[in-house]
Structure 1
Amino acid sequence: MTTNEPRPEVLQYTAFSSDPDGGNPAGVVLDASALDDADMLAIAAELGYSESAFLTPKGERAYGIRYFSPKAEVPFCGHATIASAIALAERIGPGKLEFSTRAGTVPVEVGEEGGTLRATLTSVEPAVQDIAGDDLDEALAALDWPAADLDPALPPRIAFAGARHLVVAAATRARLADLAYDFARLEALMHRLDLTTVQLVWRESATVFHVRDPFPVGGVVEDPATGAAAAAFGAYARELGLVPEDAVLTLHQGEDLGRPGELTVTLRAGEQRIRVGGAGARITRSG
């Protein structure tokens, strides 16, 4: 962007909550055509949210989209996708959208329920893989979580649905609530394993989970609501046979940060891609 060009409007929306004080806030630029990488990174850093989304119109209800944390670009971000879809729906109406991301094409559908807009994204093809024992040991050491505090019914795995996440399950809600990790140590491991977040999980019931997502590689201690990790977790739960092939999972996130949000993860038999949905709202003040 040259010094003579006006800076495009930077919107602020929260995702996975209809309350601006809940969910996960994101910056949204609906036309970033005039911005270069440095401009986008600077805007993301200025906002300080875990990610901001930068859109470029590609056709009717089709957009290129890029995501920047305060420190770097990330290949895919679920909550900023939901936030962008809600922002667009308020301007061009609900319906189907298509986002071209670095991870692949992500369709999104926006509908209205009781006066609240809700958006649902469909992930790229997911994958789940084992994590080496030494790498898991390092992750647990960085988290300061003893192996005895893990839930053996939900073994650690690396899951992908647009970005890579390490899934680690706590045996109790108290273990999940007690999060004080070594930022630099976890960040170094995550860079080495190409992880976007660590998806920490506690299972409340057959289809209800509480989750937290440390995000040191993005320069953020914790992500308040993580759509990409929710999609990856859906693939993980299905791959390990933890839920039926047809299932709707509810993930609660952000409660420990005072920004409660709710993510809906939908699995369909015979369909590999994962759906992740939630509400959104515009933030009309900073902070």
Structure 2
Amino acid sequence: MTEVLRYTAFSDDPAGGNPAGVVLDATGLDEADMLGIAAELGYSETAFLTAPPEGLGGEAGRAFTVRYFSPKAEVPFCGHATVATAVALGERIGPGELVFATPAGTVPVSVTGDAEGGLRAVLTSVEPHVEDVDPADLAEALAALDWPEADLDPAIPPRIAYAGNRHLVLGAATRARLADLAYDFPRLEALMHRLDLTTVQLVHRAGPDLFDVRDPFPVGGVVEDPATGAAAAAFGAYARELGLAPADAVLTLRQGEDMGRPGVLTVELRTGDPRVRVGGSGVRIA
């Protein structure tokens, strides 16, 4: 029988952050099996581990192939399930460096202990990029969200950002605008499928290095993702390219507060490295 573990990522409280399923040995499971397990569990994503491909690198016993499934489909990359998986492995094989071969590319993850005796994981994204949004697609997204264009923050212009998968970044001019999320699920889902988007990253700037974010996720079969590591990585690339953050920066993203599952994501940018590092704590859900 397949053992399915439950962990939350980006919080040290099982009631916070984003819960993920983790299957540390998915040997023998096919895509239908994985999708069925993810759908039955009902979390936004479940990670499935098998042996690494030849030549992946990394220390023996600390390299893996990882696939991610939402309740509705496979996704190429999932940040919170990566952090959850890394913490689960860290509890079993100890802190240290891990290497994950994902459908989006190779993702190194570092697991360390924290001051309270828990574990923290930091993933390094694949190389990101940022692209413009077609005005007609932006208009459709705003219509689906029921957001007047006047509620957008002009300092956070709409873009599509990628760091393993694609996210539409929209800036909310006020925290109240961000808090009021009631959207047309089928309409936004259809647009996201057409644009190959994984989430819509809704952002409000609360300080120079502090952002509140929310991520509608209808393509995954859930209304909202509580803490989204892949979108955080994409937003880090976006913030650097558009000058919201310098080349060397550490950003803090707060997510999940409006859902009653608060979490904190740390986004690190480094000069000379286009990749983005996203970190947070994780803990098992009993």
With normalisation by structure 1, the TM-score equals 0.96
The match for 1:33 is 27
Distance 1:235 1:116 in 2: 29
Question: SS of the residue aligned with 2:51?
Answer: strand
Candidates 46, 58, 61, aligned match of 2:40: 46
Aligned twin of 1:83 = 84
| Distance in 2 (alpha carbons) for counterparts of 1:275 and 1:239 | 15
CA distance in 1, matches of 2:112, 2:132: 37
Deviation at 1:224? 0.2
The 1-side partners of 2:6 and 2:159 are apart by 33
**Aligned letter for 1:171?**
A
SS in structure 2 opposite 1:180? coil
The runs of 4+ residues in structure 1 deviating greater than 6 Å are none
Distance 1:137 1:276 in 2: 30
Task: Write the mapping of 1:164-203 to structure 2, written as runs, cut at 5 A.
Answer: 164-203=166-205
- Identity in percent: 76
- 1 CA distance for matches of 2:267 and 2:156? 17
| TM-score under structure 2 length normalisation | 0.97
Candidates 111, 117, 120, aligned match of 1:118:
120
Worse-superposed segment, 53-62 or 108-117: 53-62
CA distance, structure 2, for counterparts of residue 116 and residue 269 of structure 1: 30
State the Cα distance separating 1:39 from its structure 2 match.
0.5
Q: Look up the match of 1:104.
A: 105
Match in the other structure for 2:61: 60
Residue among 6, 11, 21 paired with 2:5? 11
Between the aligned partners of 1:116 and 1:266, the Cα distance in structure 2 is 21
Q: CA RMSD in A?
A: 0.5
**Residues matched between the structures, number:** 278
CA distance in 2, matches of 1:67, 1:218: 11
CA distance in 2, matches of 1:120, 1:262: 13
Residue of structure 1 equivalent to 2:56: none
Superposition map of 1:168-247 within 5 A? 168-247=170-249
**1:241-280 equivalent positions in 2, closer than 5 A:** 241-280=243-282
Secondary structure of 1:35's aligned partner: coil
* Structure 2: segments with no counterpart, 5+ residues: 53-59
Q: Determine helix, strand or coil for the equivalent of 1:209.
A: strand
Aligned-residue offset at 1:118: 0.3
Partners of 2:98 and 2:2 in 1: CA distance: 21
SS of residue in 2 equivalent to 1:13:
strand
Letter in 2 for 1:125: E
Q: Gapped runs of 5+ residues in structure 1?
A: 1-6
Question: C-alpha separation between the residues in 2 aligned to 1:105 and 1:74?
Answer: 15
Structure 1 residue 240: Cα displacement: 0.3
**CA offsets 1:154-185 (integer angstroms, 9 cap, x no match):** 10000000000000000000000000000000
Q: How far apart are the structure 2 equivalents of 1:13 and 1:113?
A: 17
Structure 1 counterpart of 2:95? 94
For 2:274 and 2:252, locate their aligned partners in 1 and report how far apart those are by CA, in whole Å.
19
The residue aligned with 1:148 is 150
- C-alpha displacement of 1:113: 1.2
How far apart are the structure 2 equivalents of 1:199 and 1:241?
Answer: 18
* CA distance, structure 2, for counterparts of residue 123 and residue 265 of structure 1: 11
Alpha-carbon distance between aligned partners in 2 of 1:184 and 1:60, rounded to the nearest angstrom = 43
d(CA) in 1 for partners of 2:50, 2:69: 14
- The offset of 1:57, in angstroms, is 2.8
Counterpart code for 1:14: T
- 1:60: how far off? 2.2
Distance in 2, Cα, partners of 1:35 & 1:239: 40
